[in-house]
Chains A and B, each alone.
Chain A
Amino acid sequence: MSTVAPVFQGESPQSPPSYLKAGHTIKSWLLTGDHKRIAILYLIAVSVFFFFGSIAASMIRVELVSPRGVMLENDTYNKVFTAHGIIMIFFFLIPAIPAVLGNFLLPIMIGARDLAFPRLNLLSWYLYVAGGLCALLAMAFGGVDTGWTFYTPYSSMYSNTNVTLTIVGAFIAGFSSIATGINFIVTVHKMRAPGMTWFRLPLMVWGSYATSVIIVLGTPVVAITLLLVVMERVFHIGVFSPELGGDPVLFQHLFWFYSHPAVYIMILPAMGVINEVITCFTRKRIFGYHFIAFSSLAIAGLGFLVWGHHMFVSSQSMYQGMVFSLLSYLVAVPSAIKTFNWTATIYKGSVRFQTPFLYVLGFIGLFVVGGLTGLFLAAMSTDVHLTDTYFVVAHFHYVMVGGTIMGFLAGLHFWWPKFFGKMYPDNWGKLSALIIFIGFNLTFLPQFVLGYLGMPRRYHYYYFAPEFQFWHIASTAGASILAVGFLIPAVYLLWSLKYGPDAGPNPWGAKGLEWTIPSPPPTTNFVEIPVVREEPYAYDAEADEREERVPAETKR
């Protein structure tokens, strides 16, 4: 989006210092109100949690190589997969894109100096860290073995592990994401620059807005549900245990009322990132802007009406199951719309195969598989056989890892030069994207077969059915490739911070307000609030090609 605001070409002497240089003390970071610094704090924190979660994942994969296990005890294994689930979902996938990329970019994209409530933003980071520490403490000292779903009555009456502390951690982290959600909603409503109408917003902002709405409407419900579990556990007063007169299925209803929409909390921001990256690297306007924008809201709304498809075998009534199955098919449509629109966006573009775009290609491929295998689970009778098996595991990893993490990496590679003003080696980036894509498919395609064969999830041993072993070995082999794929970016991104060439304000030749300001941006983002006069994604592939202008693509 071009604006009347002056476009800086690098840091000129009169421009204010970058946010990275606005103070060097630890205090200036830990007490900052600057959304960009908070985003960096989040980036560090979620990376740490991703690391812990990955360690747990590796332990699971190694353990399953043999039908009788390799190194872990029953209980340890249960604690490890619970740790993997809780860390990855509550402390990585949910905050990853909104709190890192969204925090950094949302105000800049709409032409604001900061989020509406900077102090609340900082508070949300502290809540996140506090919640994460609670969960880590619980896992370090004794562990927790309920699975991330905390199903009652196991979690409330039977488990002898640190359930309470873990729930307190998830509870606190919930308020962290609520704080972020409130901040984003108000910011999008009230802080847009003049001329930045709703339909000029970058689609990532639409995605973040829809996500925030889900967070605000859903998270409190799981918070109260988990609180009720703690009450039942600690005081033996409760509403879920049949011994106390309750109904354990009520927990599942309340839990999935949030936790199904939570899937969209994880995937919608990633879809937003894809819109930004795909337009830049095809030099095309997005195809079907309005359809993509409204499909985000449709997903956010419909996503609240389909939670029962997690419960087809839970003994909920057959009639309720049918309603939920039907609605689940409806929610598949907006996702299909997005995918087809992205495909049409590439048509007649001027495609540049650079690292972020490779991640986008990976995202589309994996998300399509992940989304379509969701149809098996929304169909009532196929779900009966496949639910609680590795098919489900494979399905949601395709959506969560193939979708959210690919989206996160695409965004991280796209905006890394904006974050730090440094460029990473593109060839290493491409290599890692390729390795991740291959490793991912090797890991999780076999799990579809395993699930169909009947391998239940959360199984430590499978000596009852040793024929599963081949597929487990294949999966573990893929996982080791995937691990290497994740390590490479960690290395070269850190390397680039010190040794990377300067990126300049707009290394990709991208449109959007964030590319009109220096990299890294100054603390107040804009010297003067820009006035937006153009439609979003004002790319022109034809003109680009005609001029045969090589966009400011950094050579290294």
Chain B
Amino acid sequence: MSMKTEALQAAHGAEEQPLHHQFEELPQQNESYVVGMWVFLVTEIMFFGGMFLAYVLYRWRYSEAWFEAHTKLDIPLGTTNTVVLLTSSLTMALAVHFAQLRNKRLQLAMLGATIGLACVFLVIKAFEWSAKFQHGLVPGPNFTWEGLVPAPQAQLFYSLYFGMTGLHALHVIIGIVVIGVLALLTALDHPLVKNDFIPTELVGLYWHFVDIVGIFLFPLFYLIPK
């Protein structure tokens, strides 16, 4: 515990992972960051949780309307998008893997692939959304609904659809920015990330969380059984 930063670095040379001033040793530092990220993800779960709760309530109340409304969603596009997201999760996990191995070239390649897949996800999402705009399925004064079920209930479905997938897409956009910054810093050998795989691991945790949200959104919106 009393080992000082300098002593540690001297013992292991410049290759050693940097120790930040508030910590005493590396395992403590690494676990602190990981636990901190997980606590943040707990807040994210509760954040999405409020919306999931509203979703469950209204789906239970208006189950028929929910089924009718969901038939207007594009299942192939939704499936494709979820697979894209899963794949990006894999590339992100591999980016962390190569960060741990200090293979900067492959790490950057995997981060790039993740960003690329995330962009593909957003493009597909944009296609889906614009179709909804064209069909007047955007909640609000211009919402048009021709169907057996009441318009307000269908509108509620689309409110939650846009709210939840929108919030998810926002997280994807934030993820792209964060991964981009991480890749840039890695490429520049910035001291914040040099010889330290923890930043990549933390960004990875965030990205996998976004993936998990996607995993739940997909069956809840696209695959509603009769």
Q: Do chains A and B touch in the complex (CB under 8 A)?
A: yes
Find A245's partner among B49, B156, B162 (CB 8 Å cutoff): B156
Tell whether, in the assembled complex, residue A185 and residue B39 are in contact, meaning their CB atoms are under 8 Å apart. yes
Tell whether, in the assembled complex, residue A220 and residue B46 are in contact, meaning their CB atoms are under 8 Å apart. yes
Q: Is B76 an interface residue (CB 8 A)?
A: no
What residues of B have a CB within 8 angstroms of the CB of A529 in the complex? Answer: 1-2, 24
- Per the bound structure, the CA–CA distance linking A182 and B31 in Å amounts to 14
Interface string of A183-202 (1 = CB under 8 A from B): 10110011100100000000
- Per the bound structure, the CA–CA distance linking A542 and B157 in Å amounts to 70
Tell whether, in the assembled complex, residue A194 and residue B1 are in contact, meaning their CB atoms are under 8 Å apart. yes
Q: Give min CB distance, A509 to chain B, whole Å.
A: 29
Q: Which of A83-91, A114-122, A352-360, A461-469 contacts the other chain?
A: A114-122
What residues of A have a CB within 8 angstroms of the CB of B44 in the complex? Answer: 220
Known: A116-B36, A190-B28, A244-B152. A239 touches B50 (CB 8 A): no
Find B46's partner among A118, A221, A236 (CB 8 Å cutoff): A221
Tell whether, in the assembled complex, residue B39 and residue A115 are in contact, meaning their CB atoms are under 8 Å apart. no
Q: Is B159 an interface residue (CB 8 A)?
A: yes
What residues of B have a CB within 8 angstroms of the CB of A224 in the complex? Answer: 47-51
Known: A239-B58, A239-B160. A228 touches B51 (CB 8 A): yes
Q: Which of A211-219, A393-401, A405-413, A481-489 contacts the other chain?
A: A211-219
What residues of B have a CB within 8 angstroms of the CB of A194 in the complex? Answer: 1
Interface string of B28-51 (1 = CB under 8 A from A): 100110011001101111111111
What is the chain B residue whose CB lies nearest that of A245? B152
Tell whether, in the assembled complex, residue B35 and residue A186 are in contact, meaning their CB atoms are under 8 Å apart. yes
Tell whether, in the assembled complex, residue A245 and residue B155 are in contact, meaning their CB atoms are under 8 Å apart. yes
Tell whether, in the assembled complex, residue B2 and residue A223 are in contact, meaning their CB atoms are under 8 Å apart. no
What is the chain B residue whose CB lies nearest that of A120? B36
Q: Is B87 an interface residue (CB 8 A)?
A: no
Known: A217-B46, A529-B1. A237 touches B36 (CB 8 A): no
What is the chain B residue whose CB lies nearest that of A178? B43
Interface string of A332-371 (1 = CB under 8 A from B): 0000000000000000000000000000000000000000
Interface string of A234-250 (1 = CB under 8 A from B): 01111100011111001
What residues of A have a CB within 8 angstroms of the CB of B62 in the complex? Answer: 245
What is the chain A residue whose CB lies nearest that of B58? A239
- Per the bound structure, the CA–CA distance linking A367 and B48 in Å amounts to 36
Tell whether, in the assembled complex, residue A235 and residue B32 are in contact, meaning their CB atoms are under 8 Å apart. no
What residues of B have a CB within 8 angstroms of the CB of A250 in the complex? Answer: 54, 57
- Per the bound structure, the CA–CA distance linking A181 and B155 in Å amounts to 37
Find B22's partner among A114, A182, A216, A220 (CB 8 Å cutoff): A114
Q: Tell me what chain A mostly uses at the interface: helix, strand, loop, or mixed.
A: helix
Q: Is B153 an interface residue (CB 8 A)?
A: yes
Q: Is B225 an interface residue (CB 8 A)?
A: no
What is the chain B residue whose CB lies nearest that of A254? B50
Q: Give min CB distance, B36 to chain A, whole Å.
A: 4
What residues of A have a CB within 8 angstroms of the CB of B23 in the complex? Answer: 116, 191
Chain B stretch 142-176: residues in CB contact (< 8 A) with chain A: 150, 152-153, 155-156, 158-160, 162-163
Q: Is A105 an interface residue (CB 8 A)?
A: no
- Per the bound structure, the CA–CA distance linking A251 and B14 in Å amounts to 55
Chain B stretch 79-97: residues in CB contact (< 8 A) with chain A: none
What residues of B have a CB within 8 angstroms of the CB of A223 in the complex? Answer: 47
Q: Is A231 an interface residue (CB 8 A)?
A: yes
Interface string of A104-146 (1 = CB under 8 A from B): 0000000011111110100000000000000000000000000
Q: Give min CB distance, B154 to chain A, whole Å.
A: 9
What residues of B have a CB within 8 angstroms of the CB of A239 in the complex? Answer: 54, 58, 156, 159-160, 163
Q: Give min CB distance, A191 to chain B, whole Å.
A: 7
Known: A237-B162, A245-B156. A228 touches B36 (CB 8 A): no
Q: Is B141 an interface residue (CB 8 A)?
A: yes
What residues of A have a CB within 8 angstroms of the CB of B163 in the complex? Answer: 228, 231, 237, 239
What residues of B have a CB within 8 angstroms of the CB of A252 in the complex? Answer: none
What is the chain A residue whose CB lies nearest that of B51? A224
Q: Is B21 an interface residue (CB 8 A)?
A: yes
Chain A stretch 238-297: residues in CB contact (< 8 A) with chain B: 238-239, 243-247, 250, 254
What is the chain B residue whose CB lies nearest that of A235? B140
Tell whether, in the assembled complex, residue A113 and residue B21 are in contact, meaning their CB atoms are under 8 Å apart. yes
Q: Which of B49, B51, B54, B150 is the most central at the interface, judged by chain A CB atoms within 10 Å of its CB?
A: B54
Q: Give min CB distance, B30 to chain A, whole Å.
A: 10
- Per the bound structure, the CA–CA distance linking A308 and B72 in Å amounts to 37
Known: A182-B36, A238-B159. A190 touches B48 (CB 8 A): no
Q: Is B78 an interface residue (CB 8 A)?
A: no
- Per the bound structure, the CA–CA distance linking A237 and B142 in Å amounts to 11
What residues of A have a CB within 8 angstroms of the CB of B46 in the complex? Answer: 216-221
Tell whether, in the assembled complex, residue A220 and residue B36 are in contact, meaning their CB atoms are under 8 Å apart. no
Find B42's partner among A113, A190, A217, A245 (CB 8 Å cutoff): A217
What is the chain A residue whose CB lies nearest that of B54? A239
What residues of A have a CB within 8 angstroms of the CB of B35 in the complex? Answer: 185-186, 189-190
Tell whether, in the assembled complex, residue A237 and residue B2 are in contact, meaning their CB atoms are under 8 Å apart. no
Q: Give min CB distance, A177 to chain B, whole Å.
A: 10
Q: Is B7 an interface residue (CB 8 A)?
A: no
Q: Give min CB distance, B52 to chain A, whole Å.
A: 10
Tell whether, in the assembled complex, residue A114 and residue B21 are in contact, meaning their CB atoms are under 8 Å apart. yes
Interface string of A168-187 (1 = CB under 8 A from B): 00000000001001110110
Tell whether, in the assembled complex, residue A244 and residue B1 are in contact, meaning their CB atoms are under 8 Å apart. no
Q: Is B53 an interface residue (CB 8 A)?
A: yes
What is the chain A residue whose CB lies nearest that of B44? A220
- Per the bound structure, the CA–CA distance linking A363 and B210 in Å amounts to 45
What is the chain B residue whose CB lies nearest that of A194? B1
What residues of B have a CB within 8 angstroms of the CB of A244 in the complex? Answer: 139, 152, 155-156, 159
Tell whether, in the assembled complex, residue B22 and residue A112 are in contact, meaning their CB atoms are under 8 Å apart. yes
Q: Is A506 an interface residue (CB 8 A)?
A: no
Q: Which of B35, B39, B44, B138 is the most central at the interface, judged by chain A CB atoms within 10 Å of its CB?
A: B39
Q: Which of B22, B28, B31, B140 is the most central at the interface, judged by chain A CB atoms within 10 Å of its CB?
A: B22
Q: Give min CB distance, B33 to chain A, whole Å.
A: 8
What is the chain A residue whose CB lies nearest that of B20? A118
Find B141's partner among A219, A236, A528 (CB 8 Å cutoff): A236
Q: Give min CB distance, B161 to chain A, whole Å.
A: 10
Q: Is A2 an interface residue (CB 8 A)?
A: no
What residues of B have a CB within 8 angstroms of the CB of A178 in the complex? Answer: 40, 43
- Per the bound structure, the CA–CA distance linking A245 and B114 in Å amounts to 39
What residues of B have a CB within 8 angstroms of the CB of A219 in the complex? Answer: 43, 46
Q: List 23 A-B contacts (CB under 8 A).
A: A112-B22, A113-B21, A113-B22, A114-B21, A117-B32, A118-B22, A181-B39, A182-B36, A185-B36, A190-B31, A190-B35, A191-B28, A191-B32, A194-B1, A217-B43, A219-B46, A220-B43, A221-B49, A228-B51, A231-B159, A237-B162, A237-B163, A529-B2
A contact residues vs B (CB 8 Å cutoff): 112-118, 120, 178, 181-183, 185-186, 189-191, 194, 216-221, 223-225, 228, 231, 235-239, 243-247, 250, 254, 524, 528-529
A-B complex: 4 closest residue pairs judged by Cβ atoms? A237-B139, A245-B152, A224-B50, A220-B47
B contact residues vs A (CB 8 Å cutoff): 1-2, 21-24, 28, 31-32, 35-36, 39-40, 42-51, 53-54, 57-58, 62, 138-141, 150, 152-153, 155-156, 158-160, 162-163
